[in-house]
Amino acid sequence: MAIEDFDLIEDGHYGSLGPYACVPKEITEQLHKAYLDKLKPIKPKLSKYKPQDHEHVNFTFNLDVDGLVPHSSDEYFAKIDSWGWSSHLASLLCGTKPLRCTFANLFERYGFFRKGLVDSQQFFNFCDSIEQKYQKHRNFYHNGIHGTDVLQTVHVMINSTGLINFLDDLEILAILFAAACHDVEHTGTTNDFHKDTKSVLAQLYNNVSVLENHHLETTWNTLGQKYCNMLNLSGSQLKYFKELVHEMILHTDLAKHFDQVKSINSALAVMTPDTWSEYASDPDKPIPAPFDKKSLLALVLHAADISNAAKPWHLQQLFTMQILQEFFDQGDELKQRNMSLPPLSNRTTTNIPDSQIGFIAYLVKPLYESISNCLSSMAPVIAARAKHGSSYIQGVQTASSILATVNDFDNLWRGNLTYNSNRWGKIKIASNRFARPSVMPKNPKILFKKKSKEQKPEAIIEDDCESEEDQEEDIKFIQKARKSLAMSHPATMSANPENIPSEIAITAYESKETVNSEDSSSP
């Protein structure tokens, strides 16, 4: 493996990897041993940033993201449409209130304040309350930064897949709202942990999607608080909005993942272009699940929730180390309780590269492929039913332009998944290489030839797969060859036959034997 594979470490990203310390000790030791002398000294980047009371992450922020070093949140929010946008950087620029800033920026862009769908004063009260609740358990990963990441990712995804043409303001509002709130008051532990430890939440929700139900409950409670009720919706609008949010947040439960993917794939398999044309030509014809808006929005939110692996490497790496830190902390707690550890919970035995390669191959890629296939097939329907009133959509979309958008996005996530998977593979190869025994045998047998008193014994290192009898035979053969060569060249060799290099003696002896045998066989 070449040193350039660690160019991020060299470039200073190493400094942002506080949780990197959670990589198994033997791997970090071997990597450090091999590369530390080649690394340039890294000066910590000074920042005016001062952690606030509720600041919980323990790594050093890195300003240099994708070559962009913004000087203000305004400058960075101008890039909010980017797939490589970093919620960590947003957190730094927004004084640790990334959710509030991102939420407000997007609502402004979609015109929700101007259109009167959202009350701006109550909106900020709601945001602050939600952001505070995200920090309740001071999680490494499931915190306000993750909520912000999913919110921004959802924004990019609905635009990058063309799905936004299919949605009205209420539905866009619903998916942004669901994304921002989808993990609020996360406990930093898994649903299985709650079930196994018979937690209060597990009992409250009868062991069914425990955390997701808690996120929903917390969201509605917050919205119902005085000065936080930001939505200006009619009764029927609010009912539909709540149905959408309910469906989306419950489907962030990873336990539903395979059913979601299977359902969309099976339904796609029986759809034909003619069937889609029927929906395109009749805008009032209801589209059944799983192609209805509720299912599609849930699919997109779930994809955004596990999008880290489809992002540029520096984001994938940082988020991975953070989520593993959370899993390892949970593992430590299970150990203290003398309970068995689920996969990814053991900080000393977890194979990080393998876990990520597997996650990409078996979960992320199939889900993203299903979304690409689904939205490509639906492009004519989306174009026919496009809402052209939204201020955020530029121009009229056609089926072919939507298809081109889906293809562009397909290339983007596919390229990142491949790159990230390969990168984990290279790290795995590097760690395996150092874990392997050296080229020398583990227990080399040192054989001492019997020497005359004045000569020092000559050590011969033999591969330990050779038996002692074979080794004795070899030594006898070498002695025989040396003697033979000394006798045939008495002037030069006979003085000290033991000094004749064994390879020369063997080669000479074997060639002589060959000549002799050829001579004897000749007529």
Residue ranges that bind Zn ion, judged by CB under 5 A: 183, 305
Of the pair 9, 154, the CB lying nearest Zn ion is at 154
- Whole-angstrom Cα distance, residue 294 to residue 247? 7
Of the pair 147, 290, the CB lying nearest Zn ion is at 147
Entry field: residues in the chain: 523
Give me 522's structure tokens. 């000749």
- Whole-angstrom Cα distance, residue 143 to residue 130? 10
Nearest to 216 by CA among 259, 260, 247: 247
Which of left, alpha, beta for 209 (phi over 0: left; psi -120 to 50: alpha)? Answer: left
- The upper half-sphere exposure of residue 227, i.e. CA atoms within 13 Å in the direction of its Cβ, equals 7
In the complex, least distance from residue 272 CB atom to Zn ion, rounded to whole angstroms = 36
Of the pair 137, 483, the CB lying nearest Zn ion is at 137
In the complex, least distance from residue 171 CB atom to Zn ion, rounded to whole angstroms = 20
Contact 18, 60 (CB under 8 A): yes
Of the pair 19, 144, the CB lying nearest Zn ion is at 144
Catalytic residue flag (residue 194): no
- Whole-angstrom Cα distance, residue 404 to residue 260? 25
Contacts of 103 (CB under 8 A, 6+ apart): 123, 127, 151, 176, 180
- Whole-angstrom Cα distance, residue 17 to residue 19? 5
In the complex, least distance from residue 186 CB atom to Zn ion, rounded to whole angstroms = 7
Nearest to 130 by CA among 203, 199, 181, 80: 181
Of the pair 119, 305, the CB lying nearest Zn ion is at 305
In the complex, least distance from residue 146 CB atom to Zn ion, rounded to whole angstroms = 6
Contacts of 240 (CB under 8 A, 6+ apart): 170
CB count within 10 Å of CB 366 equals 15
- Whole-angstrom Cα distance, residue 39 to residue 32? 9
In the complex, least distance from residue 253 CB atom to Zn ion, rounded to whole angstroms = 10
In the complex, least distance from residue 234 CB atom to Zn ion, rounded to whole angstroms = 30
Give me 251's structure tokens. 């489907």
Nearest to 449 by CA among 458, 437, 441, 440: 458
Of the pair 153, 161, the CB lying nearest Zn ion is at 153
Of the pair 119, 183, the CB lying nearest Zn ion is at 183
Nearest to 194 by CA among 184, 209, 216: 209
In the complex, least distance from residue 352 CB atom to Zn ion, rounded to whole angstroms = 20
In the complex, least distance from residue 72 CB atom to Zn ion, rounded to whole angstroms = 28
Contact 62, 13 (CB under 8 A): yes
Peptide bond into 290 cis (omega under 30): yes
Contacts of 151 (CB under 8 A, 6+ apart): 99, 102, 103, 106, 176, 179, 180
Of the pair 173, 184, the CB lying nearest Zn ion is at 184
Nearest to 357 by CA among 435, 417, 431: 417
Nearest to 77 by CA among 105, 100, 46: 105
Contact 335, 407 (CB under 8 A): no
Q: Which of 88, 142, 186, 302 is flagged as catalytic?
A: 142
Of the pair 171, 183, the CB lying nearest Zn ion is at 183
In the complex, least distance from residue 394 CB atom to Zn ion, rounded to whole angstroms = 30
Nearest to 212 by CA among 201, 200, 196: 201
Known catalytic residues?
Answer: 142
